[in-house]
Chains A and B, each alone.
Chain A
Amino acid sequence: MKKLTSPADSLVRHLDALAQQIPARAANRLEHRRKQVVYHPEAAMRQHSSLSLGRRWLHQHRIMAGSLLLALLMGGLGAYHLNSDRQHTVGEVDAALLGGDLPPGAYTNPQFVQWLQEHAQQ
């Protein structure tokens, strides 16, 4: 038998050595899969196809998925800013009301509210 000396031969030797180290269970699964591909190629392809369906969907719809994520991001940030603006406005009104000429209780007093409505309608 001719002795292997080239780099390719070394690689083959190394791979053979590694193949010997594969656990029996994994080796059995690999063998089963090899036989399946050789003897029933269509079934094997169908199985492979269904396994990668999710990945293919993501790949095909990456623009849509990206847009969805972007919309979520923008929505979250928009909601944050809207709420922040609302709090700022309420705080400003509260400050003016508390420091104003009339006590806060006046604005909930039924008599005062009635005067207010009468004048607002004029």
Chain B
Amino acid sequence: MAARARTAVAVLALWLALGGAAAAQGTDKPTWGALTPAERQVLAPLVHEWPQLSRDQRRHLIRAADHYYKMKPAAQARFQKRLHAWATMSPEQRRVARENYLKYKALPPKVQQSLRQKWAEQHRASHPTQPPPSQPKQ
């Protein structure tokens, strides 16, 4: 009886370990219906694209949506406006964008401002009829 109990415990431990590893790999894709009402509201611009998004993309977006309510209203508006373009980027483009964003944020504020101005000038030159994509901080 004790041997059977030990075997049961061992099998349970193995199952938990393998289950943990499987969960770490992530085998489930969160469906739109599985999101909370708050997450659905934040990610509403992606409602039609959601079924096509990869598992990782969905999870990252859900994590990003968790931070949405901590943002200022202007940042929230930018967040939602850019969701569609962000979702259409390739995983590699998103990886590069994250990497360069972190490099940009590591620069001193004055340098960041200079880069924003350069970006706005370049955008004005290449799209003379369109407003700049963002207003640099003064």
Chain A contact residues, CB within 8 Å of chain B: 65-66, 69-70, 72-77, 79-80, 82-83, 87-88, 90-109, 111-113, 115-116, 119-120
**B13 and A70 contact, CB distance less than 8 A:** yes
B97 contacts across to A, CB distance below 8 A: 97, 104-105, 107-108
Whether B82 contacts A103 by the Cβ 8 Å rule is yes
Asked if A91 and B64 make an inter-chain contact with CB atoms under 8 angstroms apart, the answer reads yes
Complex formed: what's the CA distance from A76 to B61 in Å? 25
Task: Name the one of A73, A102, A104, A111 contacting B86, with C-beta atoms under 8 angstroms.
Answer: A104
Contact B14 A99 (CB under 8 A): no
In the assembly, what is the distance between CA of A107 and CA of B100, in Å? 6
Closest chain B CB from A21 CB (angstroms): 26
Total number of B residues with any Cβ neighbor in A under 8 Å: 60
Output the least CB separation between A108 and chain B (Å). 5
**Contacting residues of chain B (10-43) with chain A, CB-CB under 8 angstroms:** 10, 13-14, 16-21, 23-26
| Residues of chain A lying within 8 A (CB to CB) of residue B75 | 99-100
Min CB gap A52→B, angstroms:
12
Q: Knowing A76-B20, A79-B24 touch, does A101 contact B116 (C-beta < 8 A)? A: yes
A-B contact pairs, 20 of them (CB 8 A): A65-B10, A70-B13, A72-B13, A76-B16, A79-B25, A88-B63, A91-B62, A91-B67, A94-B94, A95-B65, A95-B79, A98-B79, A98-B83, A99-B68, A99-B76, A100-B78, A108-B89, A108-B97, A115-B118, A119-B107
Q: Answer whether A94 and B107 are a contact pair too, CB < 8 Å, given A76-B19, A101-B116.
A: no
Let me know if A116 and B17 touch, CB within 8 A. Answer: no
Across the interface, do A91 and B23 meet the contact criterion of CB distance under 8 Å? no
Instruction: Among B25, B63, B137, find the residue whose CB has the most chain A CB atoms closer than 10 A.
Output: B63
CB-based contact B96/A108 at 8 Å: yes
Residues in B whose Cβ lies below 8 Å from that of A116: 100, 103-104, 107, 115
Which residues of B come within 8 Å of A, CB atoms? 10, 13-14, 16-21, 23-26, 56, 59-68, 71, 75-76, 78-79, 82-83, 85-86, 89, 93-94, 96-98, 100-107, 111-112, 114-116, 118-119, 122, 133-137
Q: Are A95 and B101 in contact (CB under 8 A)?
A: no
Q: Are B78 and A98 closer than 8 Å at their CB atoms?
A: yes
A97 to B102: give the CA distance in the assembly, Å: 9
Q: Which 4 A-B pairs have the closest CB atoms?
A: A91-B63, A76-B20, A99-B75, A95-B67
